[in-house]
Amino acid sequence: MKSDKAKLLELTLDIGRALLENGAETYRVEESISRIMTAYGVSKTEVFAIPACIITSISDDAENLTKVERITQRSTNLDRVTRLSNLSRLICETKPDMHTIRMELDRIMAQPTYPFFLQMAAFMLVASAFTVVLGGDIRAGLAAALCGLCTKPVIDLLVRFQTNVFFTNIIGGALIAAIALVAARFGLSSQVDLIIIGTLMNLVPGVAITNSMRDIIAGDFVSGLTKLTEAVIIAVAIALGTGLTFTVVNHLL
């Protein structure tokens, strides 16, 4: 039978894993775990978090425990990160029993994300708005919205099948370029470059780059460089996908 400390360690790591999986910075994860453990009287807590793993060790006079949590899926859900951070603060302030914490954690994780039609509308709006801001006309903005309309379902399908992020972005970049060229071919807009750039802004890993800089500034160089490397790989994949489409089209024409 698990001791109370073991149950607390497992529950706290579940909170840390949820934070990492939804886009939180590693220092936030480490601080949350450490403060919860301190609030419940754990004398010594050591936490090491990187984007792919959390290692936590707790010790006192009675027992020493270590647990490793592997992170296999990551996304960006800042609303969920905020709710989990608020839960961590509430735990430190009120020290509820573990059953109450588990119920609240399950409630947060069960909350639905934005509906698909709203995500689709946002994807199209971002593509269209960036195209116009970069100098495109209304027709180019509409063509970019069309690119977003066709690309978003494909990317979501690839994510659902857990396709590697590198290949997902190659396919996304290639599809966006192909649709932009088709739109130009049928006379919708001749500003192909702006349409492609505007739509690709949806794939640019802005949050990953920002979080990597924050981790590096906070002194978490391993985590920061890991996230920065991932962002660079995504950028390369986008470029490869776009270039692949142009190469194929040039050979065909």
Give the pTM.
0.83
The model's pLDDT over 211-250, given as tens digits with 9 standing for 90+, comes to 888 888 888 888 889 889 999 999 999 999 999 999 998 7
Q: Where exactly are the structural domains of the chain? A: 4-110, 116-252
Residue type, 81: V
**What radius of gyration, in Å, describes the C-alpha atoms of the chain?**
22
pLDDT at 1: 46
Distances (CA, A) of 214 to 34, 60, 169, 202: 19, 32, 24, 22
**Tokens, residue 249:** 């089209």
Neighbours of 33 (CB within 10 A): 24
**Tokens, residue 27:** 């220092």
* pLDDT, averaged across the chain: 90
Residue 8, CA atoms < 13 Å, CB-side half-sphere = 25
Q: Is the pLDDT of residue 82 over 90?
A: yes
Residue with more model confidence, 80 or 1: 80
pLDDT at 219: 83
The model's pLDDT over 57-74, given as tens digits with 9 standing for 90+, comes to 998 777 788 999 999 888
